[in-house]
Amino acid sequence: MTTTLEKPATLQCACPGCHCTVQADSPFRNVTLLFCSEVCAKGHPNGEPCHAGCGCECHG
């Protein structure tokens, strides 16, 4: 018998301007939306980027 482990689906971060992908079981969520980081989930309250050097335009 062979067991196949399926890779979790990856989705796009729900933050506008963000190009990062997230796992379906992301701990960063806001109701049904998934985010790649806590700052994306909170809407970038201080204009900080989601990740250092990721190149996304979702901050500020």
Q: How confident is the model at residue 12 (pLDDT cuts 50, 70, 90)?
A: very high
| Alpha-carbon dihedral 10, 60, 32, 26, rounded to 10 degrees | 40
Share of the chain above pLDDT 90, in %: 42
Per DSSP, 40 falls in state H
| Region at 33 (left for phi over 0; alpha for psi -120 to 50; beta for the rest) | beta
Longest CA pairwise span in the chain (Å): 53
Evaluate if pTM is beyond 0.85: no
35-55 per-position pLDDT tens digit: 999 999 999 999 999 987 788
- Is the dihedral angle over the CA atoms 53, 27, 13, 60 positive or is it negative? negative
* pLDDT score of 1 more than 60: no
